[in-house]
A and B are shown apart, each in its own frame.
Chain A
Amino acid sequence: MTTKAKRLNMNQKYQLMTRGLDWETTYQDMDDVFPYDKYEGIKIKDWDKWQDPFRLTVDAYWKYQSEKERKLYAILDSVAQNNSQLSISDARYMNAVKIWMQGVTPLEYNAFRGFCTLGRGFRGAGARVACQFQAIDEMRHHQTQIHAFSHYNKFFNGMNQQSRIRDRAWYLSIPKSYFEDAMTAGPFEFITAISFSFEYVLTNLLFMPFVSGAAYNGDLATTTFGFSAQSDESRHMTLGLEIIKFMLEQHEDNVPIIQGWLDKWFWRGYRLLGLVGTMMDYMLPKKVMSWRQAWEIYWEENGVALFNDLARYGIKMPKHHETATKEKNRITHEFWSTIYQFSHATALYTWIPGNEELDWLSAEYGELFDTVYRPRYEYWKELDDKGERFFQERLPVVCNVCQIPIFHTMPDDPLKNCCLVSEYKGTKHQMCSEGCLDIFNNEPEKYCQAYIPPQQIYQGNCGGATLDDYRKWLHIRDEDTGEYYGSEDHQMWEKWKAQAGKPTDEAA
């Protein structure tokens, strides 16, 4: 008589999958099988010390995820059937969705690619398995976001060229270059950049405002995918912290390497998040919190506490964090001013905030806003009222590292652009800050290859020499761009409001 084998419990399954299924190769040298996990200089003495706090197995993962998928898609069906686009706060809000879809959704796909590489690249099986699950999560986020947004694409402009403009548009080269910088580094730098600096240190500044902003502004589709992704995100955050501690505990020689990466990726992440802060402060008709307030809570309190915890490993606060904090009262206004004047070369609409919004910004940002940015907006409003809506026709100088137009001002002088220069191989390169200059100078061989949109336009590689030629080359249509008031999105929204018997902008 045969006896049924005892069912394994979750922990046993996990142990077998991540330890028992792995082996040391004998016909081939292990270094040939895993050629990428040593060249960065990170020393791992014992991969078995890697602990995945979730101990996920394939069947458990499948079960959790499929349950979430069923719920998500039931709600997305309902969003479509009930014309939920009518429930958003205002059509201006949709530009926050556009910027997410154009800029962040492609990052999810790149994260999928990056974690696939890591899922093959590390010689420790536990780390490989965790990265493989995360790769699937990232692909799922990419897909669920596109599915959630596809309903809005039926009504609003600016969403129909996502894959083309992701590769071409100047303002999307900011997130694109961030991720490609990580993907072209080694596996340990990638995981430090993405799992720790991005997912752990900065994710609250990205995810929280976007998903809460969606909820505040009546966007059910985005809120739902946000919540559906939330449990994955918390798993990713935990992975990020575990991998950092694992690397730090494995060898003291790892500490300075990791410190260098934390310095770099803190600054790159901070620069990227300026775009998110701008969305929070300007694109959400109903505000969640200001960038300044989010920075104080999520960086000055939580982020600093995290770095204090890491001090016992010899890790110091990331370089230039003081500058980031100095900029908290200005970065989003400088960024909005930039998008406002270049919005004829984006698939976004921009506008001057209304009086109530300006009052909110004054209350959040105080004196600097009242003396500098508010009068600036009032001047642009005057021009607009005269029929001379302000657009910049000349291409800007763009930072060779973060790829943002150099609108940034001096750390101690918010009235003067900061533009720093470094020469490499006889060619001068411009950077927006000491943070980006350090990154360039540490690896000039890498950043001298950067594809910087204005440089490429002037070299003749982007359809022509003017912003208008360039926009056509991006396949962004006239009606996708420029001023919000009077745009097709605005006109449609006004029509819907009139049909519903709500007061329109003209009447208000």
Chain B
Amino acid sequence: MAVKFIGDSYDFPCANQVENYGGDMNLYIVWDHHLIYCAPNAYRVPVNIKFRDFLEQVFAPDYKQHPDAEKVKWDEGVWQMENEAWTPDFDKTLEENNIAHNSFIRVNTPGLEGMHGVGN
């Protein structure tokens, strides 16, 4: 099914295309089972930042009010991209990891299932 319209064409650019980010891109990432932070986080990031630097310097500090934040070891995480199994190389850049604009990454850290063991 496609949109029905009047006139000759119905063709508009995506409002969130990468061209609107001046060389940067959007990255979406969620740390599963830490739902006191309600939703996946959104970041505007440079494409050449190392994945480890992003995780340690940008992502992890956003969970600072969670008791699991100081225990986490990202290397032991189970990773997904677009909800499918994926293995990142922490010392490569986002681009080299094939992380593209609006990629959605999910990390699950066995043993750290949130407070009370119920994903909080």
Residues of A within 8 A of B (CB): 35-36, 39-41, 186, 260, 334, 337-338, 341, 371-372, 375-376, 379-380, 383, 388, 390, 392-398, 405-407, 409, 414-417, 419-421, 424-430, 442-443, 445-446, 448-452, 454-456, 458-459, 465
A-B CB contacts (within 8 Å), total count: 159
User: Which of B13, B26, B42, B44 has the most chain A CB atoms closer than 10 A to its own CB?
Assistant: B42
Question: Once the chains are docked, how many angstroms separate the CA of A299 from the CA of B68?
Answer: 40
Q: Is there an interface contact between B30 and A458, defined as CB atoms closer than 8 Å?
A: no
A178 to chain B, nearest CB (A): 17
Q: Top 9 closest A-B pairs, CB basis?
A: A415-B119, A396-B39, A428-B102, A458-B44, A427-B14, A407-B38, A448-B14, A397-B40, A443-B3
A222 to B62, CA, bound (A): 40
Q: A36-B6, A427-B18 are in contact. Are A394 and B119 (CB under 8 A)?
A: no
Do B38 and A465 have beta carbons less than 8 Å apart?
A: no
User: Chain B residue with minimal CB distance to A36?
Assistant: B6
In chain B, positions 1-58 with a C-beta closer than 8 Å to chain A are 1-6, 10-18, 20-21, 26, 28, 30, 32-33, 35-44
Main secondary structure of the interface of A (DSSP, over half): mixed
The answer to whether B32 touches A417 (Cβ under 8 A) is yes
Q: How large is the interface on B (under 10, 10 to 19, 20 to 34, 35 or more residues)?
A: 35 or more
Using CB atoms, name the residue of chain A closest to B30. Answer: A417
Residues of A with C-beta under 8 A to B10: 445
Can you offer 19 A-B residue contacts whose CB atoms are under 8 A? Answer: A186-B4, A337-B35, A341-B37, A371-B118, A379-B120, A393-B62, A397-B40, A397-B104, A405-B39, A415-B35, A419-B30, A428-B103, A448-B14, A449-B12, A450-B15, A458-B21, A458-B44, A459-B16, A459-B21
User: B15 and A39: CB pair below 8 A?
Assistant: no
B73: Cβ under 8 A from any A Cβ = no
Residues of A within 8 A of B104 (CB): 397, 419, 421, 428, 430
- A396 pairs with B40, CB closer than 8 A: yes
CB distance from B6 to the nearest CB of A (A): 5
A415-B116 contact, Cβ under 8 Å, with A445-B10, A465-B44: no
Judge whether B14 and A375 touch: CB under 8 Å: no
Contact B36 A379 (CB under 8 A): yes
